[in-house]
Each structure stands twice: as structure tokens, then as C-alpha cells.
Structure 1
Amino acid sequence: MNKQVLGIVLGGVLVALGLGSCGYFIGQTMYNAKVAMNIAEVKGLAEQRVESDIANWQLRFSISSKNKQDIPALYQQAEAQQQEIMAILKANGFTGDEIEIGLIEYKYYEYRNDSQTVVDQDHELEGMISLETTKVRDVATVRGEVNKLVAKGYNITNYAPTYRFTQLNDIKPEMLKAATTNARIAANEFAANAGVAVGGIRSARQGNFSITDAGEEYGDRHKIEKDVRVVTRIEFYLTE
């Protein structure tokens, strides 16, 4: 094909799906050919599904009385509940290094009528326990065990855990390789249809890596499984 054909402006969009051998790679590529400059600009997408390696979980427990004289007894009960919760965590395989025990805090509430006379009051002791662990799959089990204390009359707020993936640097090279491979696949298919060939890389730009909950477009804290995504933008030379 002569250079006049290479001078024709071509444009379009091509999506190519690819599966990487080292993970759950899904490649998607798009092109915007700049044949007037004898180059083709291609976007290569790589995605990999991973599992969170860090889980964070918090729970709150509280005990209250309307009688100020009960405060010493409340402290004893609160400390006993704290120790019982700690025993459940350790029985499920969590260590002291993974558990953070907050201070037991005293809170006082009073309620007044229209005349600003105190008509009721609450004296409350509240404690927090936090967990940070790499045993992400075990958190759901221990949450269920702690919830059983509600049947004993404990006032427990069992917050939903959050999950994070922190090993991005370990998978970056393979994902960038997959994105580049998928970009070249799209460029080759376009070039074949245009009767030209793909040469070397003129320029390459890496986009940001994004991490979202599996199957979601936004959010990255609520699911153990995550989708990691990166887009590269590559310009290839076109030759006859």
C-alpha cells in the first residue's frame, strides 16, 4: 500500500478482551487512529480480581443506669464484658497484637422538662474494641460469636468491617504487561484491516491504578474481593 493510503484519516473504536495467565486479567482496548501522522493511538485496559489482605473491625459495648450510686458496679460489669469479648476474639485465633482495647468512658445524660427541671438521667459506661488483622475471612465468624452476647442482655454495636488490598506493587508489573499486550492486539487488528503494519512504540503513558469492591463502580472498603484496574495509552508507529 502506498503512502497516500497511510495519509487517509481513520478513526474508530475496538474492544478486545484478553485473559492473562497469571491472574484474572480482563483486557479491553480502544483505539483512535492518527494515520495522518502514521501512528495509531491505543488504550489498553487490564483488570485483575484480588482478595483483601487487611481487615479492620470495631465494636462498641455499653452499660447504663439511672442511679449515680451504681457507677462503681457499672465499671465492674463493663470490665467483665470487655474481658468476655476479648476471650471470644482470642478463642477465634486473634492475638493481642491484632486487638486494640479502648478506654472505658463515662457519659452522663440528663433530661429536663419545659421548666428546665431534671426529670430523668442516664449514667453510661462505653467501651470500644478494635481489630486489625490479615485473617480477613475469620472476621465474619468472630462477629457472629460476639453477636451471641446480645442474647445475654449485652448492649453491643457490631460495626461492619472494612477490607483493604495493600499489595498493589506486587501485581503492577503483570497488569501493565497485560494492558500493553491488549493494546498491541487492537493495533494489529486495526492495521490488518487498513492494510498496514504495526511497528514499534512511539510513546506510552500509564494511567492510575484503581481499586474498587468487586462488581462495583465506586467504593473500595466493604467487600473482601476487589477489582484492580489500569489503563495505558500507547502510540504505535504504522508502516507499509
Structure 2
Amino acid sequence: MESKHVLVSKVITSLLLCVGIVWGSYYLGKGVENKGRAEGSIAVKGLGSQDFTADLIVLEGYFSVENDDLQLGFAESSRQKDELEAFLVDLGIPATAITFQAATYSALDRSLYNDTGKFIGYEPYYQLTQDFEIRSNDVSSVERASRKISDVLDKGILINMYSPRYYYTKLANLKHEMIKKATEDARQRAEIIAAQSGGSLGELRDARMGVFQITGQYSDEDYSWGGSFNTADKEKTATVTINLTYESN
């Protein structure tokens, strides 16, 4: 009798063990299947772009004086500096927007020739140079003045001007707005991709900002890997990219 009970017990134990093995194998297989399946993701790039007009102009130049006597040269340089400043003020540029640097000088030699063109030696002289800068938020006034500034040559002032440089003083605020636009653009792209593929957008995995670029609106200037910062044009375009990676459900 006891042998019969033992036999039944062994049969039941064997059946339970088989069922356990079957169920264990099933769940183990599902686990391996899920583990082997790569988790989906959607990587997108968003673009933020904004046209704007520079609100600060910087105009630089210099004038030079030559004299055989250094002291007289400095005196003449000072006189021309005062005359140039008065001329610029008359053109509508405030004196507070004009900055003159200290005059510098170089000791040079000029070649001398006789009446027959034969070289007879050198004569020492001094060349004094003074740099100046005009920096103003009144961009239009400085632009108008720059077109007339060469008239100072009629006063005997040997002036040389560089091309103006244009800046935007609210660049930090502009960057924030563009980052928002680029991020919104990237998310919209990701949502479209998820919807068209029959899924849904999951959590954000990664976000990276690309290079900030400023180029002239009407120029053929190329983007740079390190970022462009155009100062030659008054009318500019700023762009920034945002790279987002989302989980895909």
C-alpha cells in the first residue's frame, strides 16, 4: 500500500517538474527574445533661423604725419587729431563715440638723389601714426558720415579707413529664442517620424546643440564647422541646430 502511495507521489512530482520546466523555458525564451531585440530610438536634427539687423557699428581708421623733427611731428599730429575730431562731429558723430589712441612713431630713412638721378645717400625722418575708432548704436549716422569722411583729405589730413564692422548687442537673447525654435522643430520632426512608423514618441534620451552661425543675408558665405561670425554685413542671418534622440515606443 505504501509502495502505491510512493509511486503516485513520484508521478505527481514528475508531472509538476515537467510543467515547471516547460513554463520556465517559455519565460526564459521570452526574456532572451526581448533582450536580443534592440530598443528603438529616433534621432532628429532641428533648425532655428532668424534674420536680424545689426544695432552697433564700429568704424576704424588712422592718419599719419611725416616730419624731420620728432617734436614738431607730435605737435602736427595733435593738431590734425583735433581737426579730424571736429570734422567728424560736424558730420553728426558725437564726440563720445570717437576714441583716439596715442600717436606712435617710426624712425625711417628716405633715399636722396641728385639732379641726374644718382643716389647720394639717405635722409632720416619720422612717421607718426594715430589710430582712431568710432563706435555707435546710431548705425545710419555713422554710415552716412563714412561716405563723406574722405573729404578730410582736402584739409591735408592723410586718413585711411577700414571697412565698417557690424554687431548685434542682443545676441544672447537671440540665441535663447533660436534654441527654442530649433528644439521645437526637432521634436515636431520626431513626432512625425514616430506617427508615420506606427509608433509613438518616448522619453528624451539625449540633446545636443550644434554650432551657432551668423552669416550675411545677401552673401554667399559658407557655414563653418567651428561657427561663422559675420561682421561685414549689417543685415544678418543667425542659425543654430539642435540634435535630439528619443525613445520609440
TM-score of the two chains, using structure 2 as the length reference: 0.68
Q: Secondary structure at the match of 2:163?
A: coil
Shift of 1:76: 4.8
Equivalent position of 1:88 in the other structure:
87
Give the whole-Å Cα distance in 1 for the aligned partners of 2:182 and 2:105.
56
Give the whole-Å Cα distance in 2 for the aligned partners of 1:36 and 1:168.
42
- The alpha-carbon distance between structure 1 residues 176 and 197, as it changes in their structure 2 partners (threshold 3 A), is same
Corresponding residue to 2:133 among 130, 133, 141? 130
Equivalent position of 2:247 in the other structure:
237
Give the whole-Å Cα distance in 1 for the aligned partners of 2:194 and 2:70.
82
**Structure 1 contact 63–155 (Cα < 8 Å) conserved:** yes
Alignment of 1:178-189 (within 5 A): 178-189=181-192
- The alpha-carbon distance between structure 1 residues 151 and 94, as it changes in their structure 2 partners (threshold 3 A), is closer
CA distances 1:150-182 after superposition (whole Å, capped 9, x unpaired): 244431111112222342221233212211221
Shift of 1:42: 0.7
Alignment of 1:69-148 (within 5 A): 72=72, 74-111=73-110, 118-148=121-151
**Structure 2 contact 99–133 (Cα < 8 Å) conserved:** yes
Shift of 1:38: 2.1
Shift of 1:121: 4.1
Identity %: 25
Structure 1 residues without counterparts, runs of 5 or longer: 1-34
Equivalent position of 2:29 in the other structure:
none
**Structure 1 contact 88–142 (Cα < 8 Å) conserved:** no
TM-score of the two chains, using structure 1 as the length reference: 0.70
Alignment of 1:43-54 (within 5 A): 43-54=45-56
CA distances 1:85-114 after superposition (whole Å, capped 9, x unpaired): 21232234433332111223343311458x
The structure whose Rg is larger is: 2
- The alpha-carbon distance between structure 1 residues 112 and 91, as it changes in their structure 2 partners (threshold 3 A), is closer
- The alpha-carbon distance between structure 1 residues 177 and 153, as it changes in their structure 2 partners (threshold 3 A), is same
Which has the larger strand fraction? 1
Equivalent position of 1:156 in the other structure:
159
**Structure 1 contact 110–118 (Cα < 8 Å) conserved:** no
Structure 2 residues without counterparts, runs of 5 or longer: 1-36, 113-118, 223-227
- Root-mean-square deviation (CA, aligned residues, Å) is 3.0
Equivalent position of 1:194 in the other structure:
197
**Structure 2 contact 50–238 (Cα < 8 Å) conserved:** yes
Equivalent position of 1:27 in the other structure:
none
User: Greater CA deviation, 52-61 or 213-222?
Assistant: 213-222
Give the whole-Å Cα distance in 2 for the aligned partners of 1:106 and 1:233.
54
- The alpha-carbon distance between structure 1 residues 62 and 112, as it changes in their structure 2 partners (threshold 3 A), is closer
Q: Secondary structure at the match of 1:37?
A: coil
Q: Secondary structure at the match of 1:196?
A: coil
Q: How many residues align?
A: 201
Amino acid at match of 2:235: E
